[in-house]
Amino acid sequence: MLAKAPETRRLYLQIADKVRALLAQPDFAPGGRLPAERALAEQLGVSRPSVREALVVLELEGLVEIRQGSGVYVCAPAHRDAAAAPAELGELGDSLIDIMNARAVLEGAIAASVAPFCTARSLKGLRAIYETMAREAHAGHIPIATDRAFHVAIAQMTGNEVLVRTVENYYDARHAPLPAKLFGHFENTHTWLTALVEHQAILEALEAHDPIQAQAAMQRHLRLSLERCAAHT
């Protein structure tokens, strides 16, 4: 007997299918509140962050509404009819969990590799980017472009264009529908001021030419970025 082929669809899509089936039950009337993420995760046998991603998929489809500090609610049929169907959503993007974990591995290794050798000129440029980011964050702006420039500048210190393109591609993956919606639920002035402190730690470790601290600071920043997203959805 042939073994069953493994599921190749992204995990968040598999979980979204299961939650969508739950919503079809009579217990979930429009306006009703879904069980807490912890309960859904236990019921489905998956992690809470993965449940969170699946709920955002359903939000993009117009099936649920995620209300900060309140919970997740079933949308009325009129709202569902006006929303995009799953097939119309196109490519939702990779799991934000996978993206941020991959970035932590790659960018942490890059930070460690360049720390002993980065030049005064490259560090001066990186500090200028950081100071621009600080001004933008303190002015209440979301410094996405400057944040991207900061991470790419560190990759450019390697002199390896493949690594630079990879860092750019990983960063730009945040603009796909699923990651963008997740970021949209938590990014605000407070979170960016917190992230600014983490960027300062990365910069200072590089200025000290300390590979261990540079890697640790980069990985800590990316881990905390994911945790902030997880905590606010």
Same domain? 35 vs 20: yes
Task: Kindly state the average pLDDT of the residues 207-222.
Answer: 98
Is 1 part of any domain? Answer: no
- Give the tens place of pLDDT for each residue, 43-87: 888 988 888 899 999 998 889 888 877 888 888 875 555 555 554
CB 203 within 8 A of CB 37: no
Is 5 part of any domain? Answer: no
Calculate the average pLDDT of the chain.
88
Task: Specify the pLDDT at position 1.
Answer: 43
Helix (H, G, I), strand (E, B) or coil at 67: strand
CB 100 within 8 A of CB 222: yes
Q: Helices 177-186 and 211-231 meet at what angle, rounded to 10?
A: 90
Same domain? 105 vs 78: no
Same domain? 154 vs 41: no
Tally of structural domains, the chain:
2
Is 3 part of any domain? Answer: no
Q: Reply yes or no on whether the pLDDT at 218 is more than 80.
A: yes
Residue 216, CA distances (Å) to 54, 130, 163 in order: 30, 18, 19
d(Cα 16, Cα 114) in Å, to the nearest integer?
41
- Give the tens place of pLDDT for each residue, 124-164: 999 999 999 999 999 999 999 999 999 999 999 999 999 99
d(Cα 144, Cα 137) in Å, to the nearest integer?
10
Tokens of 170: 């990983």
Is 192 part of any domain? Answer: yes
